[in-house]
Structure 1
Amino acid sequence: MARVGLDPYGQPIIQQNVGFVVMAQPGALVTRPPPPPVVWMPKPSGGSGCPPGLEYLTTLDKILLKEEVNYLEMATNFVFENRYRILNDSGQQVYTAQEESTVCQLGWCSGNRAFTMHIFDNNKMEVIRLERELRCCIGTCWCSCLESCSHLIKVEAPPGKKVGYVQQKCSPLPPMFSILDEDKQEVMYIDGPCCVGPCTVVEFKVKSSKDDSKVGKISKKWDDVVQELLTNADNFGIKFPVDLDVKMKAVMLGAAFLIDFMYFE
């Protein structure tokens, strides 16, 4: 809380740390409670072979990807770089994510834009990096049959160490993606819904490439209608077996980002 001036009645104007200015009425000081503190998930021991920073994922079977609302974007209708919080099912923060793109990509390329997504742990160390190249097509099934046009995201954990890819597959109406290991061998695939629309929970099923058994899912969580109409802030739930290879959990996280940009950005 900080004083930023006086109102016409000579009373102080209070600036809150939530980004709003509150004007005090004559004879009264108006304050708002601060936002609740961020509770970070304790770091578990990852065991041998676990990439540094992915220890948090070893004990989880679901995570929530929550995009932060950008009020300046609402006011100006200009696209800004996205920011996210990544939470466990207890609401504890596991990671934060920050998009890096260019002004031209943000202004002209919309959800097809190239970006680097930096994912940080609670020590502000970058533990996962997602790289996506520009794709000029809009992601239709006929376009995705050309490898040079299909949407692709590379997942590194830690940065500089490839652990997998997510690539759009050539498919009929339902969108489909391949979840690949570091050698670009398909481990799982994503079977999307025929209809992607508001006012419902949209599920992208994750299945094993060996026997087509269901492994997990990526679900779009629609918020209130006003937020969906006025902002691009999206929420996704990601569910996977707790004993799934931690690298593949990181790749599934990358898949959620790719789906967000392709269909909801």
Structure 2
Amino acid sequence: MSGPVQTQQPAQGNIGEQWMNMSGVPPGLDYLASLDQMIVKQRVELMELLTGCEMRNKYDVLNSVGQQCYFAEEESECCNRICCGPMREYVMHITDNTQQEVMRISHDFVCCVGCCWCATDSSCGYEVKIEAPVGNIIGYAKQQSSKWKPHIRVFDANRQPMYAIRGPCCWGCQNICCTDDIDFPITDLTEQNVLGRMFKRWAGCGREMFTDADTFGVTFPMDMAVTSKALLFGGLFLVDFLYYEQQKNNNN
């Protein structure tokens, strides 16, 4: 009589890849399929408030009704934060409620980036790389050239453009007299069809004046592909660092 059939378990390192192949959804991001909005709230760091020294950014990621769905924590060197400000090299680790890393957003230090007049697809533009799961690049978000308004494009893993994001010329004018959201509409490449928006919320007089703890969000169609939602979510951190991190550091 033959013995029981032996089945070989897949290697642990291939599980994420196999899940991607079967479902098309990166491991840990399947919850995004049920979302049409994500809110990102930066935590107030007491040490930064007391000393003025830039600490590693930490964020809570919430759904539209305020329920915790992910966490984000920056990994960077202290000297880079102090000397390079928002242009610093960093890795943003995105974890779920079980503390498993499901996504990674990274920015390499490049000298003299961020000028809206000089930014191009090949140089000078601020860029973040987005991985989900870790080690699998799903795309990029990069600053584009413009006269003065924020201009960002989202690319797939092959650097083919997918979405355009434009901001208002008054992106830095939010204050106690103007507390409306600052909108960054998300459009297709024709820039004629609005698909969603990124926005910065007024966090309150105390938080806005004395901390760099911003509140951001992104909306998108419920039926948008999960990978596309993840790319737009990653683009939020580009908006934060490029347009608001330096502004708050200057205030401090």
Is the pair's TM-score, using the shorter chain for normalization, greater than 0.5?
yes
Q: Secondary structure at the match of 1:73?
A: helix
Name the counterpart of 1:16: none
Q: SS at the partner of 1:256?
A: helix
1:169-214 CA-to-partner distances (Å, cap 9, x unmatched) read: 1122211111111111011110111112222321111001156300
Say whether the 8 Å CA contact 2:61–2:71 is kept in structure 1.
yes
Aligned mates of 1:143, 1:71 — CA distance in 2: 37
Aligned to 1:134: 109
The corresponding residue for 1:168 is 143
For 1:154, give the aligned amino acid.
Answer: K
Q: Which has the higher helix share?
A: 2
Deviations 1:101-134 (A, max 9, x none): 0111111111111100000011111000001011
Say which of 223, 231, 241 aligns to 1:251.
231
Shift of 1:165: 0.5
- The 1:231–1:211 alpha-carbon spacing in structure 2 relative to 1, beyond 3 Å, is closer
Change (3 A) 1:146 1:161: closer
CA distance in 1, matches of 2:191, 2:124: 28
For 1:152, the equivalent position in structure 2 comes to 127
Q: Offset of 1:146 from its aligned partner?
A: 6.9
The residue that corresponds to 2:67 in the other structure is 92
CA contact (8 A) 2:43 2:60 kept: yes
Distance 1:145 1:164, change over 3 A: closer
Q: Is the 8 A contact 1:156 1:163 kept in 2?
A: yes
Separation in structure 2 between the aligned mates of residue 140 and residue 149 of structure 1, nearest angstrom: 7
Paired residues, what number? 220
Q: How far did residue 48 of structure 1 move?
A: 1.9
Fraction of identical pairs, as percent = 39
Q: Where does residue 69 of structure 1 map in the other structure? A: 44
Q: Are 1:183 and 2:158 an aligned pair?
A: yes
Aligned to 2:217: 237
Larger RCO: Structure 1 or Structure 2 (Cα < 8 Å, ≥ 6 residues apart)? Answer: 2
User: 2:149 touches 2:167 (CA, 8 Å); kept in 1?
Assistant: yes
User: 1:46-101 deviations in whole A, cap 9, x for unaligned?
Assistant: 98221111111000000100101101100000000000000001111110011000
Runs (5+) with no aligned partner, structure 1: 1-45
Q: Distance in 2 between matches of 1:229 and 1:105?
A: 24
* TM-score for the superposition, normalised by structure 2: 0.84
- Alignment check: 8 A CA contact 1:219 1:236 kept: yes
Which structure is larger by alpha-carbon Rg, 1 or 2? Answer: 1
Equivalent AA in structure 2 for residue 120 of structure 1 = T
Q: CA RMSD in A?
A: 1.6
CA distance in 2, matches of 1:203, 1:137: 26
1:121 and 2:96 are equivalent in the alignment = yes
Cα distance in 1 for residues equivalent to 2:120 and 2:160: 17
5+ residue gaps in structure 2?
Answer: 1-19, 246-252
TM-score by length of 1: 0.80
Q: Residue 56 of structure 1: SS of its match in structure 2? A: helix
Q: Does 1:198 align with 2:178?
A: no
Which shows bigger deviation, 254-263 or 146-155?
146-155
Distance 1:106 1:176 in 2: 25
How far apart are 1:148 and its partner, in Å? 2.5
Equivalent residue of 1:194, what SS? coil
2:81 pairs with 106, 112, 115, which one? 106
Task: Give structure 1 regions of 4+ aligned residues with deviation exceeding 3 angstroms.
Answer: none
